[in-house]
Amino acid sequence: MPSDPPVRRPGLVRQALRSVNRAELLDQKTVRFLAALGSPAVPPPPRESDQELGAVPGLRVRDAWELFESQLRSRHIDLMARELRAKGLGYYTIGSSGHEGNAVFGRLLRLTDPVFLHYRSGALLLERARHDPAVDMVRALLLSLVAAEEDPIAQGRHKVLGHPKLLAPPQTSTIASHLPKAMGAAALLETAWIQAGTRDRPPDGIVFANLGDASVNHSTALGAINAAGWTAYQGLPCPLFCLCEDNGWGISVETPRGWIEASYRDRPGWRYFTADGLDLFETWRVAREAIDCCRKTRAPVFFHLRVVRLLGHAGTDQEAEYRSLASIEETEALDPILQSARHLNQAGLASARELLDCYEAVRNEVRDLAEWAVGRPRLSTPEAVMAPLAPYRREAVEAEARREPADPSSVHRGRPAPDPADAPLHLSLGINRALGELLFKYPEMIVFGEDVAQKGGVYTVTSGLRRQHGPRRVFNTLLDEQSILGLAQGGAFWGLLPVPEIQYLAYFHNAEDQIRGEAASLQFFSADQYRNGMVVRMAGLAYQKGFGGHFHNDNSIAVLRDIPGLIVACPARADDAAGLLRTLLALARVDGRVSVFLEPIALYMTKDLHTPGDRLWLAPYPQPGVAIPLGEPRFYGDPNGADLLVVTYGNGVYFSLRAADRVARVKGARISVMDLRWLKPIHHEAIREASGLAKGVLVVDEGRETGGVSEEIVARLSEPRHPKPVRRLTGRDSYIPLGPAADTVLLTEGEIEQALCMLLDEVKAPPARPGRNTARRRRR
């Protein structure tokens, strides 16, 4: 169909600059335009007609009208958002005006195709809701604008686009952060179909994600797009449909003309399509072809949809500060609502009166529902706000952790060496055996990361697992931590149990938002209606010999402990590693929790404790059915009646036991060492109880002085004031240098020994007699 000249709306911008309400002016102009349209030469067919439009294959009269209605609903919700905000009743004004052409994708995608949406997808989501008549998306979006508890997705916690019945998990405004998990869902769709029991979904399903022309430049988006192409280039299925809605602006930064096409037309592994998103009929034709291509080829598709942005980036954005009047007027002349109305009118489907009546009927529908929504209850207590953040059904989790594999003999099948099953193991072998056991227990479990497959990881922790469980369940990834964590989220979306490996803790930082902003926040922003339970393995902490420096000895634990809802476990020995992993997988499976399993590199191969050859750091593999409950610490020596209690974790357990042994022999003291094992949550009740049994407490924290574990422990012991001496030792607030210089900033065994001796002297010193000298010292 030949394109018509743009609808000109001269002077609108100048009026807007003299008015406080541009949205109202845009609305008035739309009404005048619709009223001015003519009437078809012949009476239009009924709006419910299934008659196809000859020039647009597959598009019925009913489809065209409903698409237009969804566009109008999206526009009126945008206008209402600004009105509510002006009255102090709403909290979000980033709208979809100008992007309403994306409604076509809401129509053409199946309800079984998951959609990961960006914040200008109002029309798409409204149209998608037609697949389920029980969903009232207008009501849902208005409830989200006013942060009402009855919002079906976030329940008052945020304005997000999503719905529990539409396979649309909630997305927030972090730039392009949803692309990695959309890529992961596409790349692992076939694995989930086989391993996780999703065979009720069509085998030609696809995964949809959209973003803007500015967001597509973000490193997160580029990494996900590259990973999808990398996958498809090898002939592996990755049916990701990526819709780039190009309005030419990133807030006030203009996208260079032609940049998107030049960047993506010939990208390896991808198919490229483009359409005018202001033309409803053209968008329908090209979108049908592109979606069909993605389904049949199982390859990623990049769809470049040219749209416009109306009413600025958000309600507070004054476009005239960075755009010329001519530019804004030219954009306003291309309003997709007017273009769609004219297409319907010229195709003989609607008269001016019908179009105007539809516009006003939608306005009234939105206004009536908005007046109702502003009176609905809002979250009012911290307990209500945080209810879905960290669900924990203790009995169910512990029962699942203790549940034995269907074949008990599988416990020892995964061992990489032919040692007897009951031979004591070092930490690396303990982790390896636990992963092998859990892969047998959970058919939906997958293990992946850089070098984890044939090589078995850089420390051979995953050695033999691929050979035993196959390349679909144990596989290598490309070198991109964001994509690794995106695969984990995408796999978990389908019901898989992902155990990704981040090769070093220091490598996590460039991908942190995939846990902080996405994986760990999903249950919070969806009111626990969507989950992505996973266990992220990270090799970390310091003291690695012969291969040091910051990037292989990172001890910045604070970055993990600061993430709401995240669980952090840290084993020191092989038996604890298995017990912790059993519980972590149970937490992922039962409650959808996201966890980090922080593995002390320096202890991987450690065998001896006090003297060479004593093999006291080895531990037998725990029997099936033995697991470590969430938060439960481990004690070396009874704290009851002990002179000192040492509270520590990771390498600190090893160092503290050695130091305590020497001090005990020299000083004749009883010292109990508590291994926290769980760095988040910390079992403060257990610490307080044990500290009350000893005469003094030393907190040994191998992390940094600022933001470390010890800060929280000492603070909690002092609330209320602890009656006994409490001291802490930490590493320095420094990056870790290479070679012997590392010992100058890390906590050392000698420092622990010295601190124990000083604290012993303090707790064993006789109390000073009150008298003249004592009183004088106190005054000083």
Kindly report, residue by residue over 551-570, the tens digit of the pLDDT. Answer: 788 888 999 999 999 999 99
Alpha carbon separation from 747 to 551, 676, 729, 732 (Å, rounded): 18, 18, 7, 8
Would you tell me how many other CB atoms lie within 10 Å of the CB of residue 689? Answer: 12
> DSSP H helical segments within 333-454, as ranges?
336-346, 352-373, 382-386, 394-402, 427-441
Please report which confidence band the pLDDT of residue 407 belongs to, taking 50, 70 and 90 as the band edges: low
Examine the pLDDT at 42 and tell me if it is beyond 70: yes
Please report which confidence band the pLDDT of residue 54 belongs to, taking 50, 70 and 90 as the band edges: confident
| DSSP 8-state class, residue 752 | H
357: Cβ contacts below 8 Å, ≥ 6 apart: none
**pLDDT of 421:** 54
Examine the pLDDT at 5 and tell me if it is beyond 80: no
Examine the pLDDT at 675 and tell me if it is beyond 70: yes
**pLDDT of 26:** 86
| DSSP 8-state class, residue 378 | B
Tokens of 443: 């058919």
Bond before 681 cis per omega within 30 degrees: yes
Please report which confidence band the pLDDT of residue 417 belongs to, taking 50, 70 and 90 as the band edges: very low
The DSSP-derived string for 429-498 is: HHHHHHHHHHHHH-TTEEEEETT-SSS--TTSTTTTHHHHH-TTTEEE--S-HHHHHHHHHHHHHTT-EE
Tokens of 247: 């309005």
Q: Alpha-carbon distance 444 to 492, whole Å?
A: 10
**pTM of this prediction?**
0.93
Taken in order 144, 150, 154, 156, is the CA torsion positive or negative?
Answer: positive
**pLDDT of 172:** 67
**pLDDT of 38:** 87
Q: In the sheet where 474-476 sits, what is the strand order?
A: 474-476, 445-449, 497-502, 534-540, 594-600, 567-569, 678-680
> Mean pLDDT across the chain, nearest whole number?
91
For 12, the 3-state DSSP assignment is: helix
**pLDDT of 315:** 82
617: Cβ contacts below 8 Å, ≥ 6 apart: 426, 573, 603, 606, 607, 608, 609, 654
pLDDT above 90 coverage of the chain, percent: 81
User: Which is more confident, 333 or 79?
Assistant: 79
Please report which confidence band the pLDDT of residue 767 belongs to, taking 50, 70 and 90 as the band edges: low
Q: Alpha-carbon distance 760 to 695, whole Å?
A: 9
| DSSP 8-state class, residue 629 | -
Identify which of 698, 694, 697, 676 has the alpha carbon closest to the alpha carbon of residue 686: 676
Does residue 92 contact residue 325 with C-beta atoms inside 8 Å? no
For 588, the 3-state DSSP assignment is: helix
Q: Give the DSSP H or E segment for 567.
A: strand 567-569
**pLDDT of 15:** 46
Does residue 255 contact residue 249 with C-beta atoms inside 8 Å? yes
**pLDDT of 705:** 92
**pLDDT of 448:** 98
Q: Alpha-carbon distance 679 to 690, whole Å?
A: 17
Please report which confidence band the pLDDT of residue 309 belongs to, taking 50, 70 and 90 as the band edges: very high
Does residue 291 contact residue 202 with C-beta atoms inside 8 Å? no
**pLDDT of 19:** 39
Q: Alpha-carbon distance 339 to 326, whole Å?
A: 20
Q: pLDDT per residue over 71-127, tens digit each?
A: 999 999 999 999 999 999 999 899 999 999 999 999 999 999 999 999 999 999 999
Instruction: Indicate the burial class of 387 (C-beta count within 10 angstroms; 0-12, 13-18, 19 or more).
Output: middle
Q: pLDDT per residue over 578-605, tens digit each?
A: 999 999 999 999 999 999 999 999 999 9
Q: pLDDT per residue over 10-19, tens digit each?
A: 454 444 443 3
161: Cβ contacts below 8 Å, ≥ 6 apart: 117, 118, 119, 121, 122, 125, 168, 170, 171
**pLDDT of 196:** 82
Q: pLDDT per residue over 287-302, tens digit each?
A: 999 999 999 999 999 9
Does residue 597 contact residue 569 with C-beta atoms inside 8 Å? yes
Q: Torsions phi, psi of 306, nearest 5?
A: -85, 120
**pLDDT of 10:** 46
User: Which is more confident, 639 or 780?
Assistant: 639
Examine the pLDDT at 670 and tell me if it is beyond 50: yes
Examine the pLDDT at 1 and tell me if it is beyond 70: no
593: Cβ contacts below 8 Å, ≥ 6 apart: 390, 391, 392, 533, 565, 567, 587
Please report which confidence band the pLDDT of residue 351 belongs to, taking 50, 70 and 90 as the band edges: very high
For 4, the 3-state DSSP assignment is: coil
The residue behind tokens 């049949």 is 296
**pLDDT of 780:** 32
Identify which of 170, 263, 275 has the alpha carbon closest to the alpha carbon of residue 222: 263
Q: What is the Cβ-side half-sphere exposure of residue 680, based on CA atoms within 13 angstroms?
A: 22
**pLDDT of 416:** 43
Q: Alpha-carbon distance 454 to 182, whole Å?
A: 27
Lowest mean pLDDT across 17-26, 622-631, 672-681: 17-26
**pLDDT of 482:** 97
Does residue 522 contact residue 531 with C-beta atoms inside 8 Å? yes
**What mean pLDDT comes out for the span 459-480?**
96
Please report which confidence band the pLDDT of residue 23 belongs to, taking 50, 70 and 90 as the band edges: confident
| DSSP 8-state class, residue 109 | S
412: Cβ contacts below 8 Å, ≥ 6 apart: 421, 433, 621
> DSSP H helical segments within 668-721, as ranges?
684-693, 709-717
Examine the pLDDT at 418 and tell me if it is beyond 50: no
Report the DSSP pairing between strands 634-636 and 671-675.
antiparallel
Where on the phi/psi map is residue 207: left (φ > 0), alpha (ψ -120 to 50), or beta? beta
Q: pLDDT per residue over 382-395, tens digit each?
A: 999 999 999 999 99
The DSSP-derived string for 21-61 is: -HHHHHHHHHHHHHHH----SSPPPPTT--PBPTTSTT-BH
Q: Alpha-carbon distance 369 to 391, whole Å?
A: 33
Alpha carbon separation from 408 to 399, 402, 404, 425 (Å, rounded): 16, 12, 7, 19
pLDDT above 70 coverage of the chain, percent: 93
**pLDDT of 774:** 36
User: Which is more confident, 668 or 768?
Assistant: 668
Please report which confidence band the pLDDT of residue 20 belongs to, taking 50, 70 and 90 as the band edges: very low
Lowest mean pLDDT across 66-75, 141-150, 420-429, 704-713: 420-429
Q: Can you say how many angstroms the Cα of residue 190 is from the centroid of all Cα atoms in its chain?
A: 22
